Amino acid sequence: MDIEHEENKQTSKYNDAGYSISRLHDNWLRCYSYIRRGKFNSWKIELDIIWLELFPDVLRHEKCDKYKEDNNKHIKIIADCANNKQKMFYALIKRQEFLRGLQDDSGKGGVYIDENEELAE
C-alpha cells in the first residue's frame, strides 16, 4: 500500500513543460487574432500573460537580469506610446519578437540543429 501511495506522488518533470508549450501556443494564436482585429490592448495583455508563462524559465536562465531589464524597457516603450496607434503597433511587435526569442532561449520554441549534426534518438 505504501508503494502505491509513493507512485501516485511521482510526476514526470516534463509534464509541465508540455503544458506550458501548449499554453504558449494558445497565447500566440490569440495574439495573432488580436493583431488582425486591431485590438492592441488585448494584444498587450496577452503578451503580459506570455511573459508570466515564461518567467519561471527566466529565473533559471544565466541572462535573468538582462531579460527582466529588456522586458521592462519594452513595457515602458509601450506605455509611452499609448496614444499613438502606429507607434503602439510597432512597440508591441518588438515586445512580441523579444518574447519569441525568450521562448526559444528557454527551450520552449523551435529547436534548430546544424546540418552536420545528427538528431538524437
Domain ranges of the chain: 13-105
To the nearest 10 degrees (0 to 180), the angle between helices 40-60 and 15-37 is: 160
Please give the torsion angle defined by the CA atoms of residues 51, 56, 62 and 66, in that order, rounded to the nearest 10 degrees: 30
pLDDT greater than 60 at residue 76: yes
In this predicted structure, the answer to whether residue 107 has a pLDDT above a threshold of 90 is no
Dist. CA 85–CA 91, nearest whole Å: 10
What is the mean predicted confidence (pLDDT) over 81-100?
A: 96
3-state SS string for 40-95: HHHHHHHHHHHHHHHHHHHHHCCCHHHHHHHHHHHHHHHHHCCCCHHHHHHHHHHH
Q: Give me the pLDDT at residue 17, please.
A: 76
pTM: 0.79
Taking residues 1-9, report their average pLDDT. Answer: 50
Q: Give the list of residues 6+ apart from residue 116 with CB closer than 8 angstroms, or none.
A: none
Q: Mean per-residue pLDDT for 28-54? A: 97
pLDDT at 41: 96
